[in-house]
Structure 1
Amino acid sequence: MDQDHLPNVYLRFLERFPEIAEAQGTLARTVRETNPFDERTDRLIKLALAVGAEAQGAVRSNVRKALHHGATVDEVRAVALAAITTCGFPTTIAALGWIEEVVAAPADR
């Protein structure tokens, strides 16, 4: 995946704190390599966590990555809908909005 849709604040973080970014990347890879889930499931789980945290950037990123790893748009939407009873209606509606914006974006993402 390319860096075209990375927020400027994150790109500046990478420039300003390369050692910390590298350490965080190593941690993320280590966690990923030790979990029992395939990439698709891993991204759907991370999407659910991002929805619950109301983390717009993380929702968008994990939607893109889940779709890239074979999740369907319906599965991605289902993750947001599952948040209704745990995280609340406003959280779910916000997440669905972010999901739809990513889904509607040009396919060259």
Structure 2
Amino acid sequence: MSDDYLPGIYQQFLERFPEVAEAQGNLARTIRERNPFDDRTDRLIKLAIAVGAEAEGAVRSNVRKALQHGASLDEVRAVALAAVTTCGFPAAIAALGWIEEVATAP
């Protein structure tokens, strides 16, 4: 992923707090290396967590990454739909909106 693809706020974080970004990146790598899931499944799980947390940036990021790792748009949408009964209708609808915006972005 090129730096042009990264959201501006994340680029600012990298520039302003490089040591924190490096530490966070190391932690993320350690966790990823320890989990038993393939990249596609890992991203769908992270997407589900982000939907439940109503974390817009994390939803958008994990939608992009899930699609890059072979998840279908239907699978990504299914994660948001599953949130209706566990996280509530508003969280699911918000996530579906963010998913569609990512899916239709140039």
TM-score, structure 1 normalization = 0.93
Alignment-derived partner of residue 67 in structure 2: 67
Distance 1:8 1:73 in 2: 25
- Find runs of 4+ consecutive structure 1 residues off by over 4 angstroms: none
Distance 2:48 2:2 in 1: 23
Residue deviations 1:9-60 (CA, integer Å, cap 9, x gap):
2211111111110000000000000000000000000000000011111101
Distance 1:4 1:90 in 2: 31
TM-score, structure 2 normalization = 0.96
For structure 1, the 5+ residue unaligned runs are none
Q: Is residue 16 of structure 2 the alignment partner of residue 16 of structure 1? A: yes
* SS of residue matched to 2:4: coil
Q: Select the structure that is richer in helix.
A: 2
% identity of equivalent residues:
79
For structure 2, the 5+ residue unaligned runs are none
Distance 2:50 2:4 in 1: 20
Alignment-derived partner of residue 86 in structure 1: 86
Provide the aligned C-alpha RMSD in A.
0.9
Distance 1:3 1:55 in 2: 22
Distance 1:88 1:48 in 2: 13
